[in-house]
Amino acid sequence: MAEFTMELSDEQKEVRDWLHGFAADVIRPAAAEWDEREETPWPVIQEAAKVGIYSLDFYAQQYFDPTGLGIPMAMEELFWGDAGIALSIVGTGLAAVGVLANGTEEQIGTWIPQMYGDASDVKVAAFCSSEPDAGSDVASMRTRAVYDEAKDEWVLNGTKTWATNGGIANVHVVVAVVDPELGSKGHASFIVPPNTPGLSQGQKFKKHGIRASHTAEVVLDNVRVPGSCLLGGKEKLDARLARAREKAKQGGERVKNAAMATFEASRPAVGAMAVGTARAAYEVALEYAQTREQFGRPIIDNQGVAFQLADMRTSIDAARLLVWRASWMAINGKPFTAAEGSMSKLFASETAKKVTAQAVQILGGNGYTREYPVERMHRDSAIYTIFEGTSEIQRLVIARTLAGMPIR
């Protein structure tokens, strides 16, 4: 087990500096354009693929970093560049984590490479869990998967929403209900291969922030997938459902469903994204405060501004430490006995919203215009307290964990 440390190794520093350079030289110069266009920045994704950032190999190396810091370090640097473009680059990772968390070795080897493509023909993937009537309330999910034993196929019907890369993805990972009586424990995840009949894109959302990231509904109309597309396989699913039914009879159960397993694994990474955006806004505000003069002196000489910057930096560093702790715990198999993953996302997300708002305030009128990036960063930061579990849901998870109550 790797020791917890706040000091990156020389190799990690080299990777961090490489990512920072890409974020500064490629992502940031393109940020305003793709925010205005509200389109997937395919040229930037392709550039990331050319240098090896958008690839299975790169994310695998970071994912299996024994310190656990590879992924949060990468997320922070890319989102420091721009949240919308960075999410377009890393959005496939949520679907990949869904396969890693629930799939067999054969499924992992077959489908994850198809999620990325290669530098000459980049692909993306989508993880589809939320629904119009079931966002945080996963127990209310309506998308159904029915097994056709004669053909060894699963038939999926329903509508997913808020899906990053939804409809434009090469591979979709869809969470569906297989046993309605078990509520959230009766869910399973399925691979929907490329060009599968019946899957289509519904509404594409025009968003407040992260506009360069494609977000849409995914409609499933009698979508048939082979039995091999059930993540984990039917034998494992049947055993899990049997355990859930038995424990339900005994008055309660705590078997995790597929969507929750994916979100638990990704929450510290989302916290790292928020840290990157917060850090970017803080750095803009700091530089502005050092150079902007009022009444014959830089505005950082005023306590009202200086104290804000002190609080901003303190919160950012605290958020990063919570993210690093949760990431280290996860890679070393230490259980989140106090919901440390949710803690990291909660604090980092709220920090991003607060710090970007303070940055706008420090820049004054300039901060409210699109001539300065803090306006965009402030809009982007709102998503962190919403997706992959709202701040309210994170507090509920933390409170229930502390109380020893089941997470539903």
Q: Is 44 helix (H, G, I), strand (E, B) or coil?
A: helix
Q: Give the residue ranges of DSSP H helices in 186-251.
A: 234-249
Round to whole Å and give the CA distance between 11 and 18.
Answer: 11
Distance separating alpha carbons of residues 186 and 180, to the nearest angstrom: 6
- 179: burial class by Cβ within 10 Å (0-12, 13-18, 19+)? middle
Task: List % helix, strand, coil for the chain (3-state, nearest 5).
Answer: 60, 15, 25
In angstroms, the CA 344 to CA 324 distance is: 8
Is 388 in the active site?
yes
The DSSP code for 205 is P
Q: Which residues, 6+ apart, have CB-to-CB distance to 167 below 8 Å?
A: 126, 199, 200, 201, 202, 204, 214, 216, 217, 218
Residue from 131, 350, 375, 388 carrying the catalytic annotation: 388
Beta bridge partners of 171: 125
Q: Which residues pair with 331 in a beta bridge?
A: none
Instruction: Give the span between the Cα atoms of 206 and 362, in whole angstroms.
Output: 29
Closest by CA to 315, choosing from 281, 367, 354, 286, is 354
- Report phi then psi at 382, rounded to 5: -60, -30
Residue numbers annotated as active site: 388
